[in-house]
Amino acid sequence: MSGVTHQAQEASTAENQPRSKPAMQGWLNKQSHGVIKKSQRHWFELWGPELRYFASEADAVATRVIMVNGCRVVDAKAPASLVLDTPSDPLAKQYVFACDDPSELSRWKQALTDASALPPLVKPLLPAQERVQMVALVNSKSGGKQGPGLKAVLVKHLGPNSVFDLANGGPKAGIQEHLRDGPNTRFLVCGGDG
């Protein structure tokens, strides 16, 4: 069998595999972390222990991925809002979310509580067909001292299971892990120097 035919069959098989569905999805207001607290409306999807948020429902790539495993969900002071305590998140220790509908907020609270008990993902769940799965291959030793910072930013936006450090064994691990994810998988290769 030729390599081209084999690759086409693999891509076809990946396209025909059932896609995961988020445990919960919908609009939430997320409070900013700055001195002046303001809320911004985002589209959220909960995929196992990954809470992904998007600027709009139509966006193909998440603005941010928050790992909720090991987190704690509590009621906030404001009505129809909740606090997600994220002790292991290097960017924020708490996220405050609000919802227009109290019953919707109750469902979010239960879904986030359930997700917080899940173990970390070994491999990200395949997103819905209209979403793009981004995988970053980054050289953390490139660009002087900028490489680790670049890697941290990519982990913030893509999640830890979608970022592979080229300084630790090259691109092979990341490519092999995501090679059969399907046609919506995009690979980003970069170093700390741009």
pLDDT in tens, the chain (194 residues): 343 333 333 333 334 344 568 899 999 999 887 677 788 999 999 988 889 889 889 888 788 888 888 889 998 888 888 888 887 766 667 889 999 888 999 999 999 999 999 877 655 555 555 566 777 888 888 767 777 888 887 877 777 777 888 887 777 777 777 766 666 677 777 765 55
Q: Where in the chain is the domain with CATH 2.30.29.30?
A: 24-116
Is residue 61 within 8 A of residue 47, CB to CB? The reply is no
Is residue 40 within 8 A of residue 55, CB to CB? The reply is no
Residues 6 or more apart whose CB falls under 8 angstroms from that of 85 comprise 71, 72, 73, 74, 93, 94
pLDDT of residue 11: 37
Is residue 165 within 8 A of residue 140, CB to CB? The reply is yes
pLDDT of residue 128: 54
pLDDT of residue 62: 82
pLDDT of residue 167: 80
Is residue 132 within 8 A of residue 160, CB to CB? The reply is no
pLDDT of residue 170: 76
CATH code, 24-116: 2.30.29.30
CA quadruple 75, 77, 81, 83: dihedral sign = negative
